[in-house]
Amino acid sequence: MAGLSEMLDEVRALVECESPSSDLDAVARSAEVVAAVGTARLGVAPERIVLDGRTHLRWRLGDGPSRVLLLGHHDTVWPLGSLAEHPCTVEDGVLRGPGCFDMKAGLVMAFHAAAGLDGVTLLVTGDEEVGSRSSRALVEQEARTAAAALVLEASADGGALKTERKGISLYEVRVLGRAAHAGLEPERGVNATLELAHQVLAVDTLADPSGTTVTATAARAGTTTNTVPAAGSFAVDVRARTLAEQERVDQAMHALRPVLPSARVEVVGGPNRPPLEASASAELFELARRVAARLGLPEPTAAAVGGGSDGNLTAGVGTPTLDGLGAVGGGAHAADEHVLVEELPGRTALLRALVEDLLVGPTNPLAGSGAARP
């Protein structure tokens, strides 16, 4: 692998090409920079896959079948112009800049770790931050034929690997009532705001102390201050650690019924990303611990997190998945986003050795798990 200074130059090149998910032209420009950096390091150009106007990149390394999927994204949450306030800098061992931690440093790590290997697919998507709407099928397709998926999302606190991610479900609860004059004859109306309040309280009871969160978020109702509201709605964000919990809440959400006479309730939406359960990452995490010990690196720690990633999708199709293998730092999506420079070489060495072990063949602890899945 090349030296740290080269890695930092490559991260800077990616960070300084801004790539907000919502700007298709910016994502396309970023894809060209990512392609150039990756091609220089890997010695082969990627396929450019444009879906719904979003540019994704796929490298297939070597002539044989691919066993390991390395997964990342190059879009960010930062709008164009963010570099003016948050320039890319390296000072006192800390690299800063919009998108450096989540997750452009992870892409550079993947390029360095995969260079010269045979049997690896490296997929870099351009819409992860907005829910992988165009790339989801592509991610799932690649995962189904891989023995393992290694996700280069940034680490959890202290460099922990992400061995669990909650599944995500998204809903809109729509309430229909009947309008009436609020002063003259409110009794002739069916108050959608009141029904909405009943439904918010009902939804709130669906959370579970084991870790399932059910959160009513954006809400709206009514049109004017002197009219009994005829309609209203609110959004619901659900995070669940297991598929069983995700399904329990889904059934309960669609079973909601109105409380007020003549009111109507409609629930739309459902599971968006399945959970990355601990069972999907357990073998890979143990392998990572053994690899770290062999390399003389600190023993990896594990973390369960509430946020989703494309690792949810790879685990959802049955592929063993380990997430959070990217940069160590903090401040994702925030003004203090940063990467700890001294951690980059060790993390990249861990990733490289982990991939090499997975490519061994008959001694691969996950051998046989790469068959196509439904």
Residue 33: the pLDDT is: 98
Residue 153: the pLDDT is: 98
Residue 65: the pLDDT is: 87
- Show which residues are catalytic: 75, 128
Residue 14: the pLDDT is: 98
Residue 366: the pLDDT is: 47
The ranges of the chain with pLDDT < 50 are 362-374
Residue 361: the pLDDT is: 55
Enter the pTM of the model: 0.89
Residue 63: the pLDDT is: 87
Cβ neighbours for 155, distance < 8 A, ≥ 6 positions apart: 161, 162, 324, 325, 326, 327, 328, 329, 347
167-273 classified as CATH 3.30.70.360: yes
Which part of the chain has CATH 3.30.70.360? 167-273
Which part of the chain has CATH 3.40.630.10? 4-165+275-358
Residue 210: the pLDDT is: 85
Residue 171: the pLDDT is: 98
Q: Where does 4-165+275-358 sit in CATH, by number?
A: 3.40.630.10
Token output for 8: 């930092």
Residue 267: the pLDDT is: 98
Residue 332: the pLDDT is: 93
Residue 36: the pLDDT is: 98
